Amino acid sequence: MFVMMGTLTYLPTYYQVVDQMSAMGAGYMELPMNIAWFVASLISGALVARRGRYKRLMVVGFVLLVVGVLTLCGITLETPVLLIAAVLSLVGFGIGLTFEILVLIVQNEFPASDVGMSTAATNLVREMGTTLGTAVAGALFTSRLADTLSQGLASVGGVGMLGVNANALTPAIVRSLPDAVRETVRLAYNDALVPVFWVMAALSACGLACMLLLRERPLAE
């Protein structure tokens, strides 16, 4: 959840600022990820129900997540939006393979009398990851954006043209800027978002390491 929220939080704004998309179009660009997540959840559930094994699925899911987030680390202003959507589908498929199965693994580790408590604890930790992922991504992105914008605007003599704080920028404001300043803002957005992806890739790799160490137990009847 930390990685997912850290990865997705600023992508809709990125689409609008860098690729000049509408808010609705930016929202649609995340639809492939949700579809891939849904399909992967069905597949993982069916495979675990049939075979009673889950570790391999967890490892494969986190491998896909790592590969997807690492690929996002390489996006530039020229990266086609459809390619980003395809990478998000890969990320969504990886998360979908693991998301529901992880709850099953936790439940399988506890006696029946503690299943409710363990499930609630799992959901609590996920909510914490959601909150922390959004907060950390926001802090990293806004800090980096302010630095890159100030440097970029100084180089094109457009410091006074922005008229607002970097954190108050909206896609509508960016579209109204002169061409040179707008290009500087687009580049700053890209340069500010990529480091966030690197942090999320490192955390994904930590998750993969945990999955490699996961003990696989027979599922309780």
Domain residues of the chain, as ranges? 2-212
pLDDT of 124 above 70: yes
- The rounded mean pLDDT for the chain is 86
Better-scored residue on pLDDT, 170 or 93: 93
Phi, psi (rounded to 5 degrees) for 128: -65, -40
% of the chain at pLDDT higher than 70: 91
The whole-number pLDDT of residue 151 equals 76
Task: Report in angstroms the alpha-carbon separations of 71 from 54, 87, 128, 178, 214.
Answer: 26, 7, 26, 31, 26
pLDDT of 62 above 90: yes
The whole-number pLDDT of residue 59 equals 94
Which pLDDT band holds residue 41 (cuts at 50, 70, 90)? very high
Task: Report in angstroms the alpha-carbon separations of 112 from 12, 96, 116, 163, 204.
Answer: 42, 26, 8, 60, 31
Chain segment 181-201, per-residue pLDDT in tens: 778 888 888 888 999 999 999
Chain segment 145-172, per-residue pLDDT in tens: 878 877 776 665 555 555 555 566 677 7
The whole-number pLDDT of residue 187 equals 87
Q: Is domain 2-212 in CATH 1.20.1250.20, yes or no? A: yes
Chain segment 206-215, per-residue pLDDT in tens: 999 999 998 8
% of the chain at pLDDT higher than 90: 33
Phi, psi (rounded to 5 degrees) for 16: -75, -40
